[in-house]
Amino acid sequence: MAKPNIIQLSEFDITQKIIESLSNVCTRAVLFSIKDSSKDANQISDELKISLSTVYKTLSTLEDLALAEVAEYIISDEGKKIKKYKSRIGKVEITLTGSEPVLNLYPNNGSDE
């Protein structure tokens, strides 16, 4: 998924993409997993018992929508660069007003390890 340019998408399109993404149980589980502390994809996969490829795809989507970010990079014992992800949002509210959904995102103020 190519990262959307804010100029290319209307606010409604972004809202729809975020709502659709958050309606997926796997996406929500990954986002909740990284809300209070940053984790790498392997940690998330082990914790949630979902495939590593699904975790990477979900993290990519969350990054594209600016709902998650790389909090830090660590170097493994083998010298491999590993990304640790953190949720950028702590709370989401979706309300229906007229014919348009209203999306309110609140920053994540959760503590990190």
The mean pLDDT of 67-91, rounded to a whole number, is 93
pLDDT, position 111: 53
What's the pLDDT tens digit per position in 38-53? 999 999 999 999 999 9
- Residue extents of the structural domains in the chain: 11-107
Quickly state the pLDDT bin for 28 (edges 50, 70, 90).
Answer: very high
The mean pLDDT of 2-23, rounded to a whole number, is 70
What's the pLDDT tens digit per position in 91-100? 989 898 787 7
Which of 55-59, 70-74, 93-97 shows the lowest mean pLDDT across its residues?
Answer: 93-97
Nearest alpha-carbon partner for 30 in 8, 19, 45, 16:
45
Quickly state the pLDDT bin for 113 (edges 50, 70, 90).
Answer: very low
The CATH class that applies to domain 11-107 reads mainly alpha
